[in-house]
Amino acid sequence: MQERILTPDQYKDLSKKIIHAVDTRYRIVPLNSLKHPKYHLQAPIHITLEFEDDKVIASFDDIEVFSYSDTASEAIDLLCEEIIQIYEELQEDRENLGPLPNKWFQYLEDIIECR
């Protein structure tokens, strides 16, 4: 099998195409609010939006949570609900948390303020 060697211009063109493909499929956006009257974010968190066929997947990797929907705004709203649900569940069971859930809870306690 013969190797194909790219010229510098071909390499540059290929790099641009790869970056464009990734750039249009994924976006990292700041989330400034959990959209809930009881909870306030003390600082923005960064979430990832992944555009896949006819679905949008919103994820918050710091606590391994995601949601999906037909639109970005719906996926973000559902992600906010998931974050709140996880926070409340961890808060209720804070005495019995394992190492990873405890880490998530400590992180969420640092960024979420209850009103």
Q: pLDDT digits over 30-89, tens only?
A: 999 999 999 999 999 999 999 988 999 999 999 999 999 999 999 999 999 999 999 999
Does residue 84 sit within a domain? yes
How far is residue 55 CA from its own chain's centroid?
15
Contact 86, 104 (CB under 8 A): yes
Q: pLDDT digits over 9-33, tens only?
A: 887 777 777 766 666 788 889 999 9
Domain count, the chain: 1
Does residue 1 sit within a domain? no
Instruction: Note the helical H segments in the chain.
Output: 8-25, 72-92, 99-111
Cα end-to-end span (Å), the chain: 66
CATH code, domain carrying 50: 3.30.160
Does residue 9 sit within a domain? no
Contact 60, 79 (CB under 8 A): yes
